[in-house]
Amino acid sequence: MNTMGLQTISSICQNNNFSINGKIGYFSSLGEMILGDSIDLLSNLDDNSIDLVITSPPFALQRQKEYGNKEQYEYVEWLSQFAHLVYRKLKENGSFVLDLGGAYQKGVPVRSLYNFRVPIKFCDDIGFHLAEEFFWHNPSKLPSPIEWVNKRKIRVKDSVNTVWWFSKTEWPKSNIKNVLTPYSERMKKLLENPDKYYKPKARPSGHSISDTFSNDNGGAIPSNLLQISNSESNSLYLRHCKLLGIQGHPARFPEKLPEFFIKMLTDENDLVVDIFGGSNTTGFVAERLNRQWISMEQSLEYVATSVLRFIPNDYSIENIKKIYNEIMNNNFININSRINQNELFEIIKTEITSPNKRLAHRRLSAARATGG
């Protein structure tokens, strides 16, 4: 893997004592999963250092969830604490992508407006620009809320989340050529024989379609409606969870969602951060796309469980248990060479919680520098 990214992210951490203030769960040459409060962890990163923050925070739901969520009335202010820090830490051409689900008001079939107050707050008070709103349609989402959809049948299934793309300036880094979609069958026919299927002319809408419309650009421009099913019942992550008899994170988003934005808004070796790491889908996708990454999560159990995404399918249950338990016991793990070499992870037996934290961090940096 690329060591340039490793050196950059290591310097970010060392210069700010980032990894010292948070407990490292595991790391690779490109990134690290850190246990701690993301408010504290973000504060220790350099200003203007992050290319993309993409995350899915706990939603403002009426029913308390095990992964933590705020009441609707206090949610906007709570989330704004993180947004203020994100704004400072983003590069001038950086982006902040926020996946937010909707909610109903308590006891009545009326929607809350909290997820619309969020972008107004972010833009009016913090200084963000709303580059574009996206809509993630999850066809596999179960009907909810049960009272209004299943029992009384007076509302339809809510299967769309709003994904807000905020930017620090009006001109964030972006390249839609990286996320083109396959052409439709009709478009493929047009490209094969444009004279038969297409005549350049003005449309009734007033749009003038030129002969360049028949150029093959490698794919179609995607829309802001992203249809991505969130049904990974047989994923490697959940298979490993099942082997260990532990529950996976209950609010995971699918890999294709962060993949779309990471491809569109960053280049290789750029730094991608997830401030509500959860099962670390973002870090896993960033690693695969050769981006540097930092994921932050305040639950030790979720940090330990998220490493299961990175463990090859042919590992024995004994080895998987050993890796999981090491993280649960506050030891940190280098996942980089083990993923590539199909052998048991090397466990670095240093307690992050020991008094000599700086020695632990120097050992971590030395391990990175040697690729081990």
Which positions are annotated as active-site residues?
A: 56-57, 99
Q: What span, in angstroms and rounded, lies between the C-alpha atoms of 47 and 44?
A: 9
Nearest Cα residue to 86 out of 283, 237, 294? 294
Q: Encode 215-231 in three state secondary structure.
A: CCCCCECCCCEEECCCC
Residues in CB range of 223: below 8 A, 6 or more apart? none
What residues have CB less than 8 Å from 189, skipping those under 6 apart?
Answer: 197
Strands 292-297 and 271-274: parallel
Helices 72-89 & 114-121, crossing angle to 10 degrees?
30
Token output for 86: 């994100």
Calpha distance 26→89 (Å, rounded): 23
The tokens of 354 are what? 């020991």
Residue 172 phi/psi, 5-degree rounding, is -70, 160
